[in-house]
Amino acid sequence: MAAAGLRKGNARLPPEVNRILYVRNLPFNISSEEMYDIFGKYGAIRQIRLGNAKDTRGTAYVVYEDIYDAKNAVDHLSGFNVANRYLIVLYYQPAKMSKKSDVKKKEEEITRLQEKYGVGSKTPGPGSSD
Residue 115, Ramachandran bin (φ over 0: left; ψ between -120 and 50: alpha; else beta) = alpha
Higher pLDDT, 5 or 58: 58
pLDDT tens digit string along 25-83?
A: 999 999 999 999 999 999 999 999 999 999 899 999 999 999 999 999 999 999 999 99
Is 95's pLDDT higher than 70?
A: yes
Contact 103, 37 (CB under 8 A): no
Give residue 1's pLDDT band: very low, low, confident or very high (50, 70, 90): very low
Higher pLDDT, 88 or 107: 88
| Residue partners of 75: CB distance under 8 A and separation at least 6 | none
Domains and CATH numbers, the chain: 13-94 (3.30.70.330)
